[in-house]
């Protein structure tokens, strides 16, 4: 799989539209049924638990502040998520104020945390802020909890004010580095989780920018992309420098041949299952869209 070179997005230049397939030709990438449950765009919630997600974990080091607790003395994250988190902390100049509180958790760790919080805080609190074992994004390594250091950070609900200095800058720049605030107050009825200003999910670029621009949570974005089936109208996102072509391919029993831009057609492409019913391809071109539709 090719990877897309990361470059910060200039938010005022964002444009979103629809276009016909942008590549002159497409090749085929054969994916197994297991790969439906892998990638940066997998939807994880009660209805769509973690399945066969491939873990690519690295320790949180490189001078990042950590607020490790007894529940998670060794904090780890997906390698790409960790690299982009490091870049985001540099960009928002928050490396000396923002601490990493939680990253990857095993299913057993999540089970222990859930049971502990039931005893300590009761059912209402636990069901609002702690995902069920198997239904936690933390089991993918793609979710990170952050908090402002020096505030006696709570492991489950660390302090991360929405409008204060480094945390405000972190929130504003997060989409440029592939992160979204996963649980927002306006989306609680959809996600089933209360507002968590500290919980960020890595979905990659350009998806984080689109979700932010269109005010979509991951449940909504997963459904939204299905209207852009391959070969019809594709979703086009331009950041002022590059054009991203995004389309959906439904999963088939026994494996799926997913069309991807052929050699020499694009600067790169990324592919992810959605842990639900299909795959999403995001290709990037160093040019303006060449085929538009209304």
pLDDT in tens, 19-57: 999 998 999 999 999 999 999 999 999 999 999 778 899
Instruction: Kindly state the tokens that stand for 37.
Output: 């449950």
Pairing of strands 256-261, 278-285: unpaired
Which among 130, 142, 159, 138 has a CA at the least distance from the CA of 67?
Answer: 159
Q: Are 233 and 286 in contact (CB under 8 A)?
A: no
C-alpha span between 56 and 82 (Å, rounded): 10
Give the per-residue SS3 of 108-148. HHHHHHHHHHHHHHCHHHHHHHCCCCCCCHHHHCCEEEEEE
Which domains can be identified in the chain, with CATH numbers?
11-40+215-285 (3.30.200.180), 57-202 (3.30.1380.10)
Q: Are 218 and 182 in contact (CB under 8 A)?
A: yes
Is 196 known to be catalytic?
yes
pLDDT in tens, 161-192: 877 788 999 999 999 999 999 999 999 999 99
pTM comes to: 0.91
Phi, psi of 237 (to 5 degrees): -125, 125
* Residue 8 confidence (pLDDT): 42
Label residue 11 by pLDDT band (50, 70, 90).
low
Instruction: Kindly state the tokens that stand for 228.
Output: 């852009």
Q: Catalytic: which of 72, 196, 245, 270?
A: 196
C-alpha span between 269 and 89 (Å, rounded): 25
Instruction: Kindly state the tokens that stand for 38.
Output: 């892998």
C-alpha span between 30 and 8 (Å, rounded): 31
């Amino acid at each position: 799989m090719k990877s897309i070179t990361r470059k910060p997005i200039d938010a005022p230049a964002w444009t979103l539209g629809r276009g016909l397939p942008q590549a002159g030709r497409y090749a085929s990438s054969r994916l197994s049924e297991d790969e439906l449950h892998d990638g940066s765009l997998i939807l994880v919630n009660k209805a769509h638990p973690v399945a066969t997600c491939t873990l690519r974990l690295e320790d949180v080091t490189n001078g990042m502040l950590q607020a490790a607790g007894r529940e998670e003395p060794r904090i780890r994250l997906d390698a790409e998520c960790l690299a982009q988190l490091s870049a985001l902390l540099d960009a928002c100049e928050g490396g000396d104020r923002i601490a990493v509180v939680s990253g990857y958790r095993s299913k057993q760790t999540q089970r222990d945390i859930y049971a502990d919080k039931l005893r300590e805080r009761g059912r209402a609190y636990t069901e609002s802020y702690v995902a069920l074992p198997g239904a936690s994004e933390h089991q993918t390594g793609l979710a990170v909890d952050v908090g402002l250091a020096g505030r006696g950070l709570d492991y489950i609900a660390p302090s991360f004010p929405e409008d204060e200095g480094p945390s405000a800058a972190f929130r504003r720049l997060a989409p440029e580095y592939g992160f979204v605030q996963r649980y927002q107050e306006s989306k609680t009825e959809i996600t089933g989780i209360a507002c968590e200003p500290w919980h960020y999910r890595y979905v990659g670029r350009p998806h984080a920018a689109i979700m932010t621009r269109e005010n979509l949570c991951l449940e909504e974005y997963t459904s939204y992309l299905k209207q852009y089936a391959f070969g019809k109208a594709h979703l086009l996102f331009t950041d002022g420098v590059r054009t991203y072509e995004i389309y959906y391919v439904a999963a088939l029993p026994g494996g799926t041949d997913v069309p991807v831009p052929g050699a020499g057609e694009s600067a790169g492409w990324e592919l992810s299952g959605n842990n639900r019913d299909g795959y999403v391809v995001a290709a990037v071109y160093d040019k303006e869209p060449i085929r538009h539709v209304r």
